[in-house]
A and B are shown apart, each in its own frame.
Chain A
Amino acid sequence: MSFTLRGRLETRLATSLAPLVVGSALALGLREWWPVELAAIMVGAGLALDLTVYHRFLPYQPGWIAFPLGLLELGVVMGIVFAVGVRAPLGAAVLLFVGAWLLGQALVHAAFPLAQLSYGEDGGELGSAGPAAVTAVVALLAGAGGIAWATQPPTVHLAAGIHQGPLVIDHSEKLVGEPGAVVRGGIIVTSDDVTIRNVAVTGGEIGIKIDGAENVTVEHVRISGTSLDGIQARRASVKIRDCLIYSPVGEYSQGIDISFGFDLAPSLVDGCTILGGREGIVTHFAQVMISSNNVSGTTLRALGLTEMSMVMVEGNQVENSLGVGIYCGDFSECEIKDNVVGGTRPDVASGDLTRLGYALVAHSGAKAEVSGNVLSRNENASKAFLGGRITPG
């Protein structure tokens, strides 16, 4: 078939109607936005390809080329989905795409030619149905966008000055601090879809406690003077970016502890600086990506990845730890790459032979896959104990 540009666009939009409706219905049923976001990305990517590639390079489009073009569009759509962070399950997203593609083929090759005799000769133009399809798609997307905007979590601005905690966030919201906003005594999050940004927290046992909540984002926070954990996430899925945790006051204090959320969406700790404390970043039975952090001056270990955690440790800088730099223990699986670990000191006083200043340790059946790490000025480089394994990645 030889599409005109108008024919391509009208056909694209008309075939997009059903996926958009299905996406909207799924969104309503699942109470998730990803089906609509995915459908919108499918429409947008398709239109962009129509305008920039297909019309120019395909004056005639034989039937067979629909398959490679479909694969191309699937790749583009999934690339955008990952790039912009749409939380679509891979299988469901591919299924929705494939369903929409098959429906599109049926419409283009059978339904449209039946409904409009000259569909093929008109280069895919749909006559009066074309503008109607455009209107319907725009109305659907505008409606979904309007609802999305209207149901956005409210933003609560925390004024400059000291606010006595603990602040309890038990519904979806964005807590955004003005410059100079400080919470004394901690913040407790118990609701999904919460964002905390630009806040300083001081004092209390736990700086920010996230309990049983998903899709929580913590960005640009400064936490100091806590006696237990700077940030503690229990049965939670959290993204922590660009934080500073320092001056812990307790003997057992930890920077960030993410635990017991193995079955939830993976968590992320990225770009944080943690100074001092017993442990810097700790995981128990969790899936976590730990990247581009600076951890220094810990007294037990800088990174402790334990209890069957599955952790990716990449691009971190670990400095001046006592005993152990990076510890992968208790049947955890750790991929450790491109980190810099330096100045790890032996903990002679503990009498523990596994703490003699090792940059990397795999312990108790844990498996550490290592590559590209720079280990310097450590008392010892790396060692596996009690069935632990360290293998090159």
Chain B
Amino acid sequence: MSGAQRCAIVGGGLAGLISYATLRHGGFASSEIAVFGTDADPAAEWRQRAAAIRQQRMRSESSGHCAPTSFPGLAVRAAARTRNPLPLVQTVFDRFHPTVDEFLEHAAEVRERSGWDESFRPRRIRQVRAVDEGFELDGEGRFAHVLLAPGHPGLAFPDGVGRDARVVHAYQAHDYADRVEIVGAGMAAATEWLNALAAGAEVVSVRRREPERRPLNLPRELFTRRGLAAFHRTSRDERVGFLRRWSAPSYPHGRGWDEPVENARRAGRFRVAAELNGGEQIICATGFRRGFGHDALLAQLVADNELETAEGWIVLTPDSTVPGLTDETRTLSLAGVPGQWAFPAADTLMGAKYAARRFLRRVQTCRSR
């Protein structure tokens, strides 16, 4: 091939960082990779959201990190740093959850060590155009292998909630009024219940279903081939059903979650309601908009190339590449939430690694390499 550069990562968030670190670990020089994003700090957006909900600890465990290899995980790093074996004992029992500060420190370290800044180009890519043996990126040149990690396509607000001054999304900076209605039943909502109660507020949890309780976003088997093999064998409709079911809100078990809520319930400061009812403040812990149609770049990509879709998902091969736009000479891969068709927990750190490692494998074996 002629004129095409090697690899591009479109998206400068954590999934982009993981993909970049993985490529570098796989032997690619920083000059062979271009990363396009709007903020040089890959953790910037995530940091804002975590700060907004005052998140202290990660839901993910030791292996939820940005380094290319699973080992050493964050528990090993913490034990080595503090010279305390407790994190190792905790991780043996799946009880190690790093603090947000530890995680951000680690992300910064990966950023520095991987040479991220050498490859980063501050530019929002609005269009990916398939061309001969590669992809044209919005005037930035032609790349043989492109990984798209655009992140979540904006915050989701519940239907019927007006955008007045009382309404704020959980992932937007906010304080707490005396009487707060919190919409949602996932990890962010549970965190907000505790935050608001700790701030002295009276809380109404507005939800239409009871939240599921599980340690991670999805059952653990679905993070490995054991569960994924069955997932990948599903028909189109079955898979849509699975993804819908698994996207139901959940948060972990534990007294740390339950006791404050139970105490507040007994004191009359916490209750559950099915509908909003005129609270002083409405906090929408309702996550993100869902579906490729909310992302302009992906929507255009689908339209231009008539890609197969299933409701809000782009149909992908199990290695998270886009069929029809991936062959022996070029690779187009989706990481992060748009990669759910290949890996249902694609919007987690493990999901980003899944896509990144398979992208690396394809690029390494690709004839054009």
Query: What residues of chain A have their CB less than 8 Å away from a CB belonging to chain B?
Result: 1-4, 7, 59-60, 62-64, 109-110, 113-114, 117-123, 125
Asked whether, in the complex, the Cβ of B70 is within 8 Å of the Cβ of A59, the reply is no
- How far in angstroms is the closest Cβ of chain A from B219? 8
- How far in angstroms is the closest Cβ of chain B from A54? 12
Asked whether, in the complex, the Cβ of A123 is within 8 Å of the Cβ of B70, the reply is no
Query: What residues of chain B have their CB less than 8 Å away from a CB belonging to chain A?
Result: 22, 25, 63, 68-72, 91-94, 219-221, 223-229, 350, 353-354, 357-358, 360-361
Asked whether, in the complex, the Cβ of A63 is within 8 Å of the Cβ of B220, the reply is no
CB-defined contacts of B229 to chain A, threshold 8 Å: 4
Asked whether, in the complex, the Cβ of A64 is within 8 Å of the Cβ of B22, the reply is no
Known contacts being A2-B223, A2-B227, A4-B229, is A120 close to B70, with CB within 8 Å? yes
In the complex the two chains form, what is the Cα distance from A110 to B63 in whole Å?
A: 12
Residue of B nearest to A115 (CB): B69
CB-defined contacts of B361 to chain A, threshold 8 Å: 118
CB-defined contacts of A2 to chain B, threshold 8 Å: 220-221, 223-224, 226-227
CB-CB nearest 8 A-B residue pairs: A63-B92, A113-B70, A123-B225, A2-B224, A2-B226, A113-B71, A60-B220, A2-B221
Known contacts being A62-B93, A117-B22, A117-B360, is A4 close to B225, with CB within 8 Å? yes
- How far in angstroms is the closest Cβ of chain A from B147? 15
- How far in angstroms is the closest Cβ of chain A from B251? 19
Cβ contacts A to B, 18 pairs, < 8 Å: A2-B220, A2-B221, A7-B225, A59-B227, A64-B92, A110-B72, A113-B69, A117-B357, A117-B360, A120-B70, A120-B224, A121-B224, A121-B350, A121-B353, A121-B354, A122-B224, A123-B226, A125-B225
CB-defined contacts of A64 to chain B, threshold 8 Å: 92-93
- How far in angstroms is the closest Cβ of chain B from A43? 23
- How far in angstroms is the closest Cβ of chain A from B79? 13
Known contacts being A3-B226, A4-B226, is A59 close to B221, with CB within 8 Å? yes
Q: B226, B350, B354: which contacts A59 (Cβ < 8 A)? A: B226
In the complex the two chains form, what is the Cα distance from A382 to B94 in whole Å?
A: 64
CB-defined contacts of A109 to chain B, threshold 8 Å: 71
Q: Is the interface of B mostly helix, strand, loop or mixed?
A: helix
Asked whether, in the complex, the Cβ of A120 is within 8 Å of the Cβ of B221, the reply is no
CB-defined contacts of A4 to chain B, threshold 8 Å: 224-226, 229
Asked whether, in the complex, the Cβ of A117 is within 8 Å of the Cβ of B68, the reply is yes
Asked whether, in the complex, the Cβ of B69 is within 8 Å of the Cβ of A118, the reply is no
In the complex the two chains form, what is the Cα distance from A287 to B280 in whole Å?
A: 89
Asked whether, in the complex, the Cβ of B225 is within 8 Å of the Cβ of A114, the reply is no
- How far in angstroms is the closest Cβ of chain B from A314? 45
- How far in angstroms is the closest Cβ of chain A from B221? 5
In the complex the two chains form, what is the Cα distance from A119 to B221 in whole Å?
A: 14
CB-defined contacts of B92 to chain A, threshold 8 Å: 62-64
- How far in angstroms is the closest Cβ of chain A from B252? 15
In the complex the two chains form, what is the Cα distance from A180 to B350 in whole Å?
A: 75
In the complex the two chains form, what is the Cα distance from A261 to B303 in whole Å?
A: 90
CB-defined contacts of A121 to chain B, threshold 8 Å: 223-225, 228, 350, 353-354, 357
- How far in angstroms is the closest Cβ of chain B from A351? 75
Q: B25, B223, B227: which contacts A117 (Cβ < 8 A)? A: B25
Residue of A nearest to B76 (CB): A110
List 20 extra interface pairs beyond A2-B221, A121-B353, A125-B225, CB under 8 A.
Answer: A1-B224, A3-B224, A4-B225, A59-B226, A60-B221, A63-B93, A63-B94, A64-B92, A110-B71, A113-B71, A114-B69, A117-B22, A117-B68, A117-B70, A118-B357, A118-B361, A120-B224, A121-B224, A121-B354, A122-B225
